Structure 1
Amino acid sequence: MGSKVAIAILAAGRSTRMGKFNKLLSMFGNAPLVRLSVQHATASTGSKVIVVTGHMANEIREAVCGLNVTVVHNSAFASGMSSSVRAALQAVPHDCDGVLIHLADMPLVNESHMSLMIEAFNKCRGLSVVRATAYGEHGNPVIIPRKLFRALGDLEGDRGARQVIAASGLPVIEVEIGAAAMCDVDTVEALDAAGGSQP
């Protein structure tokens, strides 16, 4: 029996560099970006998918309507990413050995990438951090073992898991997924390059 890994999709950000629209509602084919990200997660081997909302929460919730996910709202989203991580951790089931933290604005990360990372986590029996890389460079997503949940929950501001990983002393398994690990859509130019269009 493999380790159970929940997938937390962070979809609370204000998308400030996009100007007047929320990048997570930009269209990729027939689906908003946030829905595409969630669909990939639900098709993977993750045991539960959690979506953290914040900015434009109603619109994000509507975009993922009908998918098998738990939606949690982060009322403190303006304080930065760490508040969304805390909100996600509170929704991770007690029987999960780790959580895969996925940023909703990364359109090239698919179910195969997530399943590959979960497989690597299983092989180390849930005792290591698993991090996606792009041609050897650190990227996202990342799987955090339960052992680090408390330290992760203590983060403040607009910070992710990097410093918790560095301070933990745990082994880090790197899973190469190519450009997907670095491709986010923070600007209109990046959105165009990734094949998306404005809503």
Structure 2
Amino acid sequence: MNKTIGIILAAGFSRRMKKDKLLLKYNEKTFLEIIVEKLLNLKLRKIILVVSEKASLEEYLNSLKYYPTIIIVYNKNPELGITSSIKKALEEVVNFRIDFDSLMFFMVDQPFLSENTIRKIINSKKENCIIVPKINETAYNPVLFSKKFLKNFFELEGDIGGKQIIKENQNSVIYINFEEEEEFQDIDTPEDFSKIK
């Protein structure tokens, strides 16, 4: 059984995009639908989706409640940054006593990320490690953290997210090399989005 928990961090304000990224569409599907569908196909242990209370796509979010592997979490204070969303997700992991061996964090703005790439990262996991995809000297999301680092996330402050844990635990980091930079592209601005329409 795949014991990786996928955590989709989707409670941000999309300030650079100037509109809700959850509503953006590629090939007739919203960015959120794209990543959720891929993670469902990979049969992860659980999928935890963190959204703000003002999240759009209410009908779609309601439809996800019928999937036993999906947990939807509402972050009431997304202005506190990505760390607040991470902690909200991990509180669910602890409260539900979910049996898992690793945590993998996803953004909604990487529509080209393939199931095969996600699978390769998961299959590279080892005990007490952090798996980071890399092209040349640039690191990308999604990053996988072994269960060992759960407590480190609860100790985080501010808006830095998992970068701080990676920085402080370089001896535990395994970099996995990839070649297709487009797969990891973030769609952050209207200009980025106009190029993929």
- 2:63 is the counterpart of 1:66: yes
Alpha-carbon distance between aligned partners in 1 of 2:90 and 2:182, rounded to the nearest angstrom: 24
Of 111, 125, 136, the residue aligned with 1:107 is: 111
TM-score with structure 1 length normalisation?
Answer: 0.86
Alpha-carbon distance between aligned partners in 1 of 2:185 and 2:24, rounded to the nearest angstrom: 15
Conserved 8 A contact 2:4-2:46: yes
> Once the two structures are superposed, what CA deviation does each residue of 1:38-83 show, in whole Å capped at 9, x if it has no partner?
11111124221110001632x2443344343211111121110000
Alpha-carbon distance between aligned partners in 1 of 2:123 and 2:82, rounded to the nearest angstrom: 26
Conserved 8 A contact 1:131-1:172: yes
Alpha-carbon distance between aligned partners in 1 of 2:122 and 2:188, rounded to the nearest angstrom: 26
The aligned residue for residue 176 of structure 2 is 175
Consecutive unaligned residues in structure 2, runs of 5 or more: none
Give the C-alpha shift of residue 144 in structure 1.
1.1
Alpha-carbon distance between aligned partners in 1 of 2:62 and 2:132, rounded to the nearest angstrom: 29
- 2:156 is the counterpart of 1:152: no
- 2:4 is the counterpart of 1:33: no
Alignment length (residue pairs):
189
Give the C-alpha shift of residue 180 in structure 1.
4.7
Alpha-carbon distance between aligned partners in 2 of 1:48 and 1:15, rounded to the nearest angstrom: 25
The aligned residue for residue 22 of structure 2 is 24
Alpha-carbon distance between aligned partners in 1 of 2:58 and 2:23, rounded to the nearest angstrom: 11
Alpha-carbon distance between aligned partners in 1 of 2:146 and 2:113, rounded to the nearest angstrom: 20
- The Cα RMSD (Å) is 2.0
2:98 is paired with a residue whose SS is coil
Conserved 8 A contact 1:101-1:142: yes
Alpha-carbon distance between aligned partners in 1 of 2:110 and 2:140, rounded to the nearest angstrom: 11
Distance 1:44-1:104 versus aligned 2 partners, 3 A rule: same
Alpha-carbon distance between aligned partners in 1 of 2:32 and 2:133, rounded to the nearest angstrom: 20
Conserved 8 A contact 2:113-2:184: no
Give the C-alpha shift of residue 15 in structure 1.
0.7
Which amino acid in structure 2 is aligned with residue 29 of structure 1? N
Consecutive unaligned residues in structure 1, runs of 5 or more: none
Alpha-carbon distance between aligned partners in 1 of 2:171 and 2:92, rounded to the nearest angstrom: 24
Conserved 8 A contact 2:7-2:104: yes
